Structure 1
């Protein structure tokens, strides 16, 4: 038996070996738990200190990066404001240039020749001013482009001078053509009067002849008449032209005659002819408009520019008897004529088409001379569009970078919150560890209590044996 003295009351108690061993173990366990708690407190304090230092470092690094980002943002804002200012200045300059150009154009309305020269001067001044501005912008990036712009400006000035000389030359040619046209008109009028008298005699002759022919013979006689007139008057004038029967009926229909003429390998005139005539004694009288639809279809199928109906129908209609009748309001480029106007009408169309062909050639030459200026303007416009597109791409990427920075800040804030939350979880785990004892583990658990008691008794027995062995 062992005696234990109470430190408070001084009483002495006797306890058996099992209770004495239990008390000794309890004291040892209490000291062990105290030591563990102390060590855990030191580890926890060290962990908190290290975590506070890490958080301080992260906060300092975050503040540094945030300051750098704010600095970059301020620089980008300043760059944007500078670009906006330059763009607004450029727009104001362009508006001022447009106002100046409008005022100059109003002043140049006094005379045709003065107007053209002033317009060319204003255009050259505007181009030179635009070139100077572009040269100023491009000189900061590319010296080669500056040289190219200078060459383009010199070429533009040369071409403008050539264009002015060409305009003067064209004006003189136009005046000459007008005088020639007036002389030709007088000659044609005289020739027309003579032909009109001859045709009237022929009309009287054919009217008398129609009473002696069948219906088929009447139509064939009109075609024969037109063919003879062409060979007599137009063949010597147009030796390379084609005039013949339309024998291609592959599409179901065909006209009577086709006329085609070309110059320098380019077809400038093509006409589809239809000849219509009938006996005066025919019971059912046809009208000219009855044949226009078919004639227009034949013209389109054969690829002709004009369609002409040579008709003796409606003999009493003064509209057709007085000259050439234009039916273009019904079908495009459609005309109705009497046989006596056959040669005259072809001659007029040939002369008009040849003049138009000559003007087209001159227009093509003038357009070819303006190609370089047009290409230069196109290049300038292309450069402007590319600059605007690159600026938009830069702006979009800058906005995306700002967005990514904001997202990164949000993610860092979430990481910070999670670290704080993990610290709270570690603190709770430490508290749970400090509160854990053998008594709590075995409370309301007799099985585990019995196991611990058995282990405790076995430990005490081994200690006793060790002590006895030492005594021996």
Structure 2
């Protein structure tokens, strides 16, 4: 809610935001109409002053020419008077002299009359020419006033029908319509769509890209900005450049262009394309009428460098191929070295195991040979075994064997 104090009675009354906005709009419209009438009066006064000065110049030139001719005629009249006073002698001489002088005077008068007629004709022509210039100047002023009136009425109507958000959207739609009108003829292979990727936290309005033979040679990030005169906080173009540069880098675009209707009275932006590269790399600010020319300008400049881009892309691919070859070679070397190392380790392990087996077999062989020798000795001992030997140191056993032998012999 807003409080408003009456300047006459001093009474304070409260209105809502809508009513307050309408009152502010009425005050603005009155001030705008007042300023418009003042500008019209200034233009009319300036035109009237120029016309008055032109008429004064024409009258002065005409008066100067007539005064000059009158002075010359007065000098001729004085000369005739002096000649007539000097004439003496016979009446015939006087008549001849007078006739000669009169004839000369008539001739000179005739010449002067002709000159005056020519001068009047020139003055008339010049007056006609000045009148035509005056009419042309009048028409030019009228056309300018008409254009101003039409432009004022257009913006009045535009602002009356649109909200702040709608104006911004209308500017975007205006640029999109301009591009679509030329898309199939001037940009048949180009990409120009809304930037809907806000994963990084922000996004531009439109992205323009174009490629040839798979090589992208131009990319532009566009941002469209506008606001109504009633907006409480007036924005400047520089307020949006940092964010636009960030969007350009995140979306990997080469150029960034701000299409703006902000700071409508700033002549820097009204005179044409403004290069902001001293603040942000490859950044430009333009009015909507330079939207298509800006795309054409940057695109044609990029086309001139397309051959160099292709060669650079080819060299980059060749470099990538070389890097991949080196990577594959290194991978093969590393794999081969690893397999060789593993095989070598396993081969050494196998050799060691074989050596261990040979040593074990040699020990087994030696053990078997030792057993064979012991068996041979045992065999020899078995062959040498007899009862006599067994009972040599055992008389009781010997007696038993003798008894058994005796019984066998008796039977």
Give the shorter-chain TM-score range. 0.3 to 0.5
TM-score by length of structure 1 reads 0.33
TM-score by length of structure 2 reads 0.38
Q: Which structure has the larger Rg over C-alpha atoms?
A: 2
